Structures are given as structure tokens and as C-alpha cells.
Amino acid sequence: MEFTIRILWRHRSTPQHNAMSRKLCDTWFYAIIVASVAAALYYYYPEIQERFPKETAILESYSDNLYATIQRYLPFLFPAAGKLPAGFFDAATLARYDGKPSSKGLYLALLGKVYNVEKGAQHYRQGGGYAFFAGKDATRAYITGDFTEKGLTDDLDGVSDDMVAGLATWIEFYQKEYSYMGKLVGRYYTSTGAKTAELRRVEGILKTALASKLKDDELKKVFPPCNSEFTPKEGHKVWCSDESGGIKRKWTGVPRRHHPPGMSQERCVCVRTTGAPHDNPSASTNNGDLSNPNLKEYPDCEPTSVSCKLK
């Protein structure tokens, strides 16, 4: 028994065996490195795409060309012609999920992303108020309100950036309420799932709009909107409270007309009347933000009054 073990140990320790072991270890080592780099790129790619949009667009173009070449010369690696991989739809495939009696389900797409809206079947099936959205990508109609056959399209050509920004609310809604099923190949995604130039353009608009909204939200914390009311008898009245504009705070403020540079029209805001100004907290003044150059008093309204009647 001892002799047999020694023979086996000597056999395992031969130079040929050691060389083979090193090669095997090297192979596994490089495989792990490649897999780790691939996983990192997959995870951080959206961030890389944001920071280097032009470079990633070129990379995706090369990737699509490589994919097409491989698909041409090695077709056995891909699904049969006319079939899409799981998680991908074309317009004809998505149309089969329009919720009609013979359909395969109840799906719709928004900005190229497909969602299962079976949970809201009462709205999206035939007879429902939003049945015209089922089985298609009608991104344009969500922000134009044009529910005709021509308006129910994913084409945003000619739609202003301000209107396109309105898609953010709908995107958030569908992501929260419904299950994501995959991507619609066409205007917004390629056959490999890569974003198209049009999708990157729209996402750029949405990103800019979000930054503007966040900035506006911060401004509202400093200058909360006034309460407003109109009655035939009393006319138009604006006033401040410690919750006006939906901004809870420890002060009430007084109404002022606010018209900062870049804003298309003025609005009524509530202005803090004590302490240092928000943009110079170390100041020794004690009149809050009343000295802000972008503020104006309402005519015929006491400067210290918490309410004003507008003419």
C-alpha cells in the first residue's frame, strides 16, 4: 500500500504534470480576469456612456457591425431567421400582445421599453380608456395627447424639448407600476440591445430637464410659492402660510413678485423676513431675503402683510 502511494505521488510530481498544472492555473486565472472586467464594464457602462457619449456611440457602432458579421458567417450561433432572442420584440411581435381575444397577452412599449400591463387590464384592453396604447410604442401620444392613428407613434420628430421632458413622469409611472419585459428593436434599440442615437438624444433632454427640476425644487425651498385664490366677489388673492406651496417650514413669510433671470414669467413667492439672506448666512442683517434684487412688492399691499389682493 505504501509503495503504491509513493508511485502515485511521484507520478503527480513529474515535470510534465507540473507544467500542465501551471497552464491550467494560468487559463483559469485569465478567464477570471476577463470575466471580472466584463462584469465591471456591464455594471458601469451606463455611467461610462453618460461621461463619454461620442466614444461609446462609436464603440456601439463597431459592436453592431461585428455582431452583423458574426451573424452572417456563423448563423448557427443565433436564433432562426425571423425569431428574436428572449427579451426582444419587433413591431409585429409586440402587436400580438394587444389584449384582444386572440392575443398572447397585454403589453405596450414606452421609449422602446416593453411593459406587461395586464395588471391594468381594465384600462388597456378593448373598451378601456387607454386601449389604443396596447401592442405598440406610442411614446409621442403620451405627451401630445394626439390619439389618432397618426399620433400613436414612437416618432418624436418636431416635438419640443419641453414636451419631451414630460415623458419623465410616464417613465417613472410604468417602471413603478408594471413589469419590464424587454426591448423593442427599432427607433430606440438596435438588435443587440444597444441604445440608438435617437434614444441618447431623448435621454439627454430628460437629463437636462431633471437637473432643471432639481434646481427649481431647491429654489422653492428658499422661495416657496404663495397660496392663491380667486372668487368673483373677492377677486384674486395671494397669501403665505407655513405650508404654502407644499413646503413645510418654521416661518410664514410675505408675498413678493419673483422674476429671476432666465424665468419666462414672474410668480408669487413667500419671502422670509428675519435672519440673514439664504445666499449669505454670515451677514449681520436681519431682514431675511427681502433685499433680494429679483423680488418686487405688490402694488397697494402692505410690505409686512401675509396676504395681498391683486388687481
pLDDT digits (tens, 9 = 90+) for 47-71: 666 667 666 666 666 666 666 666 5
Question: Tell me, what's the pLDDT at 5?
Answer: 47
Band of residue 234 on the pLDDT scale cut at 50, 70, 90 = confident
Show the domain range for 94.
88-216
Using pLDDT thresholds of 50, 70 and 90, give the confidence band for residue 87. very high
Q: Is the pLDDT of residue 200 over 90?
A: yes
**Is position 6 within any domain?**
no
C-alpha cell at 301: 399691499
How confident is the model at residue 58, as a pLDDT? Answer: 67
pLDDT-derived band at 213 (thresholds 50, 70, 90) equals: confident
**Euclidean distance between CA atoms 51 and 32, whole angstroms:** 27
pLDDT reported for residue 10: 52
Task: Indicate the pLDDT class of residue 77, thresholds 50, 70 and 90.
Answer: low
Average pLDDT value over all residues in the chain: 86
pLDDT band at 37 (very low <50, low <70, confident <90, very high): confident
Name the DSSP letter for residue 231.
E
Residue where one domain finishes, among candidates 162, 181, 216: 216
Task: Give 4's contacts (C-beta < 8 A, 6+ positions apart).
Answer: none
pTM, two decimal places? 0.61
More confident residue, 98 or 79: 98
How would you list the strands of the sheet with 235-239, edge to edge? 227-231, 235-239, 307-310
Domain final residue pick, 200, 216, 232: 216
Residue 154, domain CATH? 3.10.120.10
> Does residue 1 lie within any of the structural domains?
no
On whether both 92 and 211 belong to a single domain, the answer is: yes
Residues 205, 187 share a domain: yes
- Residue 138 belongs to some domain of the structure: yes
Residues 262, 232 contacting (CB under 8 angstroms) = no
Cα–Cα distances in angstroms (integers) from residue 82 to residues 20, 79, 135, 166, in the given order: 45, 8, 19, 35
State the Cα–Cα distance between residues 26 and 197, nearest whole angstrom: 41
Shared domain for 193 and 165, answered yes or no, is yes
Number of domains the chain is built from: 3
Please report whether residue 293 resides in a domain: yes
Tell me the percentage of the chain whose pLDDT exceeds 90.
Answer: 63
Identify whether residues 62 and 123 lie together within a single domain. Answer: no
Output the pLDDT for position 12: 53
